[in-house]
Amino acid sequence: MENVSVNKIFGGWHKQYSHFSKTLNCSMRFAIYLPPQASSGNKVPVLYWLSGLTCNDENFSHKAGAQRAAAELGVAIVIPDTSPRGEDVADDEAYDLGQGAGFYVNATQAPWSKHYQMYDYVVDELPQLIEATFPVSDKRAISGHSMGGHGALVIALRHPERYLSVSAFSPISNPIDCPWGQKAFSTYLGKDREAWRSYDASELMREAKDFVPALVDQGEDDNFLLEQLKPEALTAAAKASNYPLELRMQDGYDHSYYFIASFIDEHLRFHAAHLYQ
């Protein structure tokens, strides 16, 4: 790994690193916030944050204001990039496909399958690297926004043994039934819609047998609410399986980081309650 930057904040350290990912076959960058408690030799639990379309690790790091509460609660935050990147990595001119838009799936279709294995990167390779390198424990939570909220919910639902809690802001809740998801899934996964179901949070939650406590916040003034996000599908799925989901509709809030910054402390406290139980 190469250390790209270091900044002290709220008594802890926010650091950026680059490393070569065998899973993605390219160089990747991630950020980690280590709270003050990690400096005393103690291993602290970790929240993995998955960002949305067009983002990288810096959007959350600079705009969410999460470090203050993380320092208080003693929770590390790991922020990967949203896709593989590089000159030889497949891309698209559209903002919602290609670099910056990996959708946290394992692509099966050429040319995407060579690099776009973000699901395995987030679930396996990155946590192994983090836990082998930094003073963190194997107590994990996961969260994200929009495309990243989709990724966080899907990963927790598919691996309830690995995560103690999950949360999301404005997640793409039912991607097999919205334009963003249909475009990405047909490109990365092919035309077989049955293969898409394993990456759809509503489909997974409807059939869930093992539960990870879940908190979702959705702004009522989100421009993408009706066409792309579809929280009502997630609510119906939770009702069908009696899933422990708390979904809160927040009056006046949109899809931006102003929304995330308004409620990120509550999400961190939600996760800390499970990570330290």
Counting every residue written for the chain, the total comes to 277
Q: Which of 51, 61, 146, 167 is catalytic?
A: 146
- The answer to whether the beta carbons of residues 262 and 253 sit under 8 Å apart is yes
Catalytic, 222? Answer yes
- The angle formed by the CA atoms of residues 7, 258 and 61, to the nearest 5 degrees, is 20
Catalytic, 192? Answer no
- The answer to whether the beta carbons of residues 252 and 221 sit under 8 Å apart is yes
* DSSP 8-state symbol, 182: H
Catalytic, 255? Answer yes
Q: Is the dihedral of CA 90, 93, 97, 100 positive or negative?
A: positive
What does 159-177 look like in DSSP terms, one character per residue?
A: -TTT-SEEEEES----GGG
* Terminal CA-CA length for the chain: 32
Distance CA 25, CA 115 (A): 6
Distance CA 229, CA 110 (A): 28
Distance CA 42, CA 189 (A): 42
Q: Which of 222, 262, 267, 271 is catalytic?
A: 222
Query: Which of 61, 60, 47, 64 has its CA nearest to residue 136?
Result: 47
Q: Which of 255, 262, 267, 271 is catalytic?
A: 255
For 168, other C-beta atoms within 10 Å of its C-beta total 30
* DSSP 8-state symbol, 229: I
11: left (phi over 0), alpha (psi -120 to 50) or beta: left
Distance CA 169, CA 247 (A): 10
Q: Which residues are catalytic?
A: 146, 222, 255
